[in-house]
Structure 1
């Protein structure tokens, strides 16, 4: 499962909209949408999103 898929799954399981997650993580809604669509993500953004969702992301080299 990609990082974007993991973020989307965690967000929807918590009943959050992209806007709500963005506000909590101090990023833009467009950033959340880009991440969820599989675009590259900075470590800073990844850290903010995972902290806001209280999750850990599994990174794999496939």
Structure 2
């Protein structure tokens, strides 16, 4: 990033970006809601855990 021509470093101030840091003073109204557990997703998580544990055991010489 190029420096300003007057030689001073430029920084954002709170007045320019607001309290949220995104340029708006509005409070976001988005919430993350928990969803239902799918068998396919749980299977892939369990498979990933098993592969990671197997790789760790192999790397440590247990297998």
- After TM superposition, the score normalised by the length of structure 1 is 0.22
Larger radius of gyration: 2
Greater length-normalized contact order (CA 8 Å, ≥ 6 residues apart):
1
